Structure 1
């Protein structure tokens, strides 16, 4: 871990690290704000085969799963 940092993480991503004590949630603990999460890439950069496959998988998922299904309520 990075020793210190503050950032917004999706609940399902951080859950295991919170449960094991590697991360601590800061307040608020309930009624968490909704935030947008973006996938950013540099189109001028040449990607490795692994990076290209990962980005293709991300794009496929984003195209096939509706925004409502990807939104926490």
Structure 2
């Protein structure tokens, strides 16, 4: 807490059965696009949902509703 990009912090990692203490410098991270503008954020989400919908349509292409409704076993989710 209270650390900013450029600060150095001590970290401890466990690698190959050995504990390693090391100093790391914190780096900056770009602010996600649209984070401060609701209209831009909504457009980004709409595009991402459209992309996922398109991929799902490709995956399920040719599958009928009846085929998709078949349960693997009684009471199991399909």
Query: TM-score, normalization: structure 2?
Result: 0.27
Higher-strand-fraction structure: 2
Greater gyration radius: 2
Query: TM-score, normalization: structure 1?
Result: 0.29
